[in-house]
Amino acid sequence: MDLRVNPTVARLVCSRTGLKVAGEVPAGPIGLCRCCPSPGKPVVVEYDRERVLAQLTGRDLSWAFGPGIWRFAPLLPVLGVSDDYSSDIGGTPVVLHERLGAELGVDVYLKNEGISPSGSFKDRGLAVGMAFGLACGARRFCLPTQGNAGVAACLFSARLGLPGCLVYMPEGFQGCVYHRACEFFGGEVRFAGDNIAAAGRAMREALRAELASGEVVDMSTFFEPGRLEGKKTMGLEIAARFEGRPLPDTIVYPTGGGTGLVGIWKAFEELVMLGLLDPARTPLPRMVAVQSVNCAPIVEAFESGLDDVVPVTSRGTIADGLDVPGAIMGHGILRVLRASGGIAVAVSEAAIAAAFERYGRLGIPAGIESAASLAAVEALQESGAVGRGDRVLLLLTGSHLIPLSRR
């Protein structure tokens, strides 16, 4: 593959201050910003409007510039991926589910990411993040994980022909399906701490020299800008799916690190910037972040009116992907919720478990995190935030097989 930075990239900026951290072609792999207090805040990619528009032949969203999610190549930071790297990523359908909708009294659209190559929506972010990292000079990747992100990272490391991804998992994950799947894709798995934050700290300590030299690049959620760009393609696909018709009133997103929530909104904002989406004629959806009551830092910050997230102590949740006690992009998540007129909602563990069973009963192959979204719809109906006949889109972030294999 001849990976290269996309000339439509205008600059990379700090998500908190907007200050430029790198121009069109970064001199090396990009990590957190240096303008904010240590360890820094996430860096995001900005595109040059005129250069993107120059590549478009029409003013619609029937883009087909490359394989898989690279159909949206003008709005991705890296070019030159091969068909075998990316053809099977993205393109997941958005389906109106009549039976579930009838039960709930709303129009329910499901976007099922469980059909992704590694079994979850993490593929989108890691595919773009690792290709972008490589284009910027990275040679090996590492990340802490308590699930799907590690598997996706190992899969794309293997597709890139790189040395195995260095994966740090909490101690309790030894022998679990994620551990085995990471090793299946050539990952080098190490165990430390009792949650993802502790595993991440151990990773940064153990790899201090390699990370400082740039020999290894940290693919943790929001620690580099490419994963957000990959997750953004969910929003581009949703906009394309509803093109010419109203977008859903509400998008419900199970929120751990929040990359997808921020990414979907980034997609809408970029389409508005390009003049391909007009919020005056097509109102943008309200974005809803769902968490477990046992680990709800976003909900607490949102309800307290804060503009950033204060880490909490997790009481543990059956939804591994939601067991994220702090969010480095908390300021970005809260901004999206407020800009979209959305809300953050916490649901009980019992409600998550009941929603998971409901998915099974209806033949919907969704994971436990996505069950939190379904539970949230009922909570939002009770509070009046979702009304009868509303059009609600639920992101099904991963396959039912993973939670069923884990327990």
Contact residues for Zn ion, defined by CB under 5 A: 14, 16-17, 33, 35-36, 41
DSSP 78: E
Query: Which residue is it, tokens 């906009």?
Result: 239
Q: How far is the CB of 227 from Zn ion (least distance, A)?
A: 18
d(CA 123, CA 367): 15
Residue 115: count other Cβ atoms within 10 Å of its Cβ. 14
Nearer to Zn ion, 18 or 279 (CB): 18
d(CA 223, CA 249): 31
Q: Which of 375, 368, 376 is nearest to 396 (CA)?
A: 368
Q: Which of 113, 125, 90, 177 is nearest to 402 (CA)?
A: 177
Q: How far is the CB of 308 from Zn ion (least distance, A)?
A: 12
Nearer to Zn ion, 33 or 196 (CB): 33
Nearer to Zn ion, 20 or 51 (CB): 20
Nearer to Zn ion, 20 or 241 (CB): 20
DSSP 315: -
Residues 6+ apart with CB under 8 A from 221: 149, 227, 256, 257, 259, 328, 329
Q: How far is the CB of 9 from Zn ion (least distance, A)?
A: 18
DSSP 162: P
Instruction: Tell me the residue type at 262.
Output: V
Q: Residue 208: how many CA atoms within 13 Å on its side-chain side?
A: 4
Q: How far apart are the first and last CA of the chain?
A: 39
Q: Residue 197: how many CA atoms within 13 Å on its side-chain side?
A: 13
d(CA 35, CA 300): 27
Q: How far is the CB of 225 from Zn ion (least distance, A)?
A: 13
Q: How far is the CB of 340 from Zn ion (least distance, A)?
A: 23
Q: How far is the CB of 138 from Zn ion (least distance, A)?
A: 21
Nearer to Zn ion, 35 or 354 (CB): 35
Nearer to Zn ion, 221 or 373 (CB): 221
Q: How far is the CB of 22 from Zn ion (least distance, A)?
A: 12
Nearer to Zn ion, 17 or 174 (CB): 17
Q: How far is the CB of 8 from Zn ion (least distance, A)?
A: 23
Nearer to Zn ion, 41 or 71 (CB): 41
Cross-strand bridge partners of residue 143: 167
Nearer to Zn ion, 18 or 311 (CB): 18
Q: How far is the CB of 162 from Zn ion (least distance, A)?
A: 29
Name the phi and psi angles at 196, rounded to 5.
-65, -35
Contact 373, 290 (CB under 8 A): yes
Contact 108, 96 (CB under 8 A): yes
